[in-house]
Structure 1
């Protein structure tokens, strides 16, 4: 018998910006900041210019997939941050 500790399997998450998608593998306990940083770099965007949603709700970088009850194969949507929205 092996005395190795049980490791939680990694999840494959898909990050989509417009029609472009990337896949990342993360542990359920990894802060999503690592995922967001990888997506920002892959999409060739400046840091801080993307916002992310999961199931229609904003996801923050300090959260983990486990906190959001994400499962293998789930998708996170990325959007370019837009300032404004006031009336003229």
Structure 2
């Protein structure tokens, strides 16, 4: 099924946000600087796994850990953030991720026989 067309996925997550103010982060830049670690949710529709990683850590670590935990091969899945494919060399910093953001995991479409 096609990805949702809404451009701001934060909106439907506001209810599950623990601090209750998903829009409140940018107004306090000094606070954002202090949070060196982010909690990132990784979901593949069946499972939700939370990872705590540094802003500067390459997402390869998170991807490998998720695949290991789910018994998947890293080459068999792709990770998406805000509908864009995430590269292993990306970090939360380069993607401008916020605490509590979600990465989606999709099966890589392998083979051409339908």
Band the TM-score falls in, shorter-chain normalisation: 0.7 to 0.9
Listed as ranges, the gaps of 5+ residues in structure 1 are: 1-5
User: In the alignment, which residue of structure 1 is the partner of 2:106?
Assistant: 79
Deviation at 1:49, TM superposition (A): 1.2
The answer on whether the counterparts of 2:63 and 2:74 sit within 8 Å (CA) in structure 1 is no
Number of aligned pairs? 82
The CA distance in 1 between the partners of 2:72 and 2:89, in whole Å, is: 20
Higher helix share: 2
RMSD: 1.9
TM-score, normalised relative to structure 2: 0.65
Higher strand share: 1
Listed as ranges, the gaps of 5+ residues in structure 2 are: 1-32
Q: Of residues 58, 68, 84 in structure 1, which corresponds to 2:95?
A: 68
